[in-house]
Amino acid sequence: MREAQLYKPAKGGYVDCFLCSFRCHIADGKFGVCGVRENVGGMLYTLVYGKLIAAHLDPVEKKPLFHFQPGSHSYSIATVGCNFRCLHCQNSEISQMPKDQKRIIGEETSPEEVVGEAEKSGASSISYTYTEPTIFFEFAKDISDLARRKNLKNIFVTNGYMTKECLDELKDVLDAANVDIKGFTEPFYRKICGARLAPVLESIEYMRSLGVWVELTTLVIPGQNDSEEELRAIAKWIAKTDRTMPWHLSAFHPAYKLANLPVTPAETIERAREIGLEEGLRYVYTGNVPGMKGESTFCWNCKKMLIERHGFTVKKNVVEDSKCPHCKTVIDGVDL
Ligand code: SF4
């Protein structure tokens, strides 16, 4: 156990955690909503520091980030735990373990060891992913500081529920994030994720204002968030906030407590992409349906194909100095 950051003691032995937007008020001997932060005698402890549950070398496209060092690899790590309880979680065995199984496991690993492994693997970046990185903030921050000194970039793949205070701590080391916009109504967030939408949108805006490269993902779930109205509302919000943010639309596959729902039809994903383009977004992608046109990057001005992909593989990239070679339009992103 290691003392947590971003909390303060409160009256009566309570502590107030302000790492994420739940802002838990935790009694002595109790845990926060995430199940990995515990009040012991009026001090808050993180129970997941250094407890690595997953470490893999992934294409950065798998995060998914399509406009951040395309074709590179990202050393991807996680601890157990999450502050959300999404009914469709693809990684529920590790994300919900502290709550569902009442246990926290992981291989004791130091930040130095993580960065050393990342360097050995040939990765250009480290991704904090698979579960929710916010809840292992202290570990991620120590790794990020070291990674930065070794010229590795840092990527959060996140539900966006961290507070501004958390982002202020990360702003000097966080290079990019893929943030889920899981739906666009408060009832959806409440029922499906056990959380709220508004803080997620605030985090995205704040990340952009800090200069973090942000891409967005919506998993389109049949009958839950796949209406034209809801998808268009998301697209309009992105267009108003920053139309250069790429939007990834992924097909749902039955999982966890939504195992009874069907797979998202490819036509729904394609239609969602059209909606994004109709609303003026520059880059809208399809995911989880390999072989679709929407996996590739097109110049938002002359519409020619610039980065051809199949699944997570970059087959061809003709971008030159972040510009379209045909019409010289700047293509948004980092190290394209
Ligand atoms: S990280 Fe979020 S869910 Fe966990 S204790 Fe802190 S405020 Fe609560």
Give the pLDDT band (50/70/90) at residue 304: very high
Nearest to 111 by CA among 139, 131, 88, 80: 139
Question: How much is the pLDDT for 85?
Answer: 96
Pocket lining for ligand 1, CB < 6 angstroms: 17, 19-20, 22-24, 32-34, 37, 83, 135
Average pLDDT over residues 130-137: 98
Question: How much is the pLDDT for 111?
Answer: 98
Q: Which ligand 1 atom minimizes the distance to the CA of 18?
A: 7
Q: What is the CATH number of domain 51-299?
A: 3.20.20.70
Question: How much is the pLDDT for 80?
Answer: 97
Average pLDDT over residues 163-185: 98
Residue 220 identity: V
Question: How much is the pLDDT for 188?
Answer: 97
User: CATH 3.20.20.70: which residues of the chain?
Assistant: 51-299
Q: Are strands 107-108 and 2-3 parallel, antiparallel or unpaired?
A: unpaired
Q: Which ligand 1 atom minimizes the distance to the CA of 135?
A: 1
Residue 73 predicted with pLDDT over 90: yes
Residue 290 predicted with pLDDT over 90: no
Question: How much is the pLDDT for 142?
Answer: 98
User: Ligand 1 centre from 17 Cα, in Å?
Assistant: 6
Question: Ligand 1: which of 16, 22, 161 to mutate, most ligand atoms within 8 Å of CB?
Answer: 22
Q: Which ligand 1 atom minimizes the distance to the CA of 44?
A: 5
Question: Ligand 1: which of 3, 19, 26, 79 to mutate, most ligand atoms within 8 Å of CB?
Answer: 19
Q: What is the mean pLDDT of the chain?
A: 97
Sheet holding 176-180, edge to edge: 54-59, 73-78, 125-128, 153-158, 176-180, 213-220, 247-251, 284-287
Question: How much is the pLDDT for 1?
Answer: 85
- The C-alpha angle with vertex 88 and arms to 128 and 143, in degrees rounded to 5, equals 10
Give tens-digit pLDDT for 3-12: 999 999 999 9
Q: What does pTM read for this prediction?
A: 0.97
Tell me how far apart the alpha carbons of residues 307 and 315 are, in angstroms, rounded to a whole number: 8
Hey, whose CA ends up nearest to atom 6 of ligand 1?
Answer: 17
Question: How much is the pLDDT for 147?
Answer: 98
Question: How much is the pLDDT for 12?
Answer: 97
User: Ligand 1 centre from 82 Cα, in Å?
Assistant: 9
Question: Ligand 1: which of 3, 20, 30 to mutate, most ligand atoms within 8 Å of CB?
Answer: 20
User: Ligand 1 centre from 2 Cα, in Å?
Assistant: 15
Average pLDDT over residues 251-271: 96
User: Ligand 1 centre from 18 Cα, in Å?
Assistant: 7
Give tens-digit pLDDT for 196-218: 999 999 999 999 999 999 999 99
User: Ligand 1 centre from 33 Cα, in Å?
Assistant: 6
User: Ligand 1 centre from 6 Cα, in Å?
Assistant: 10
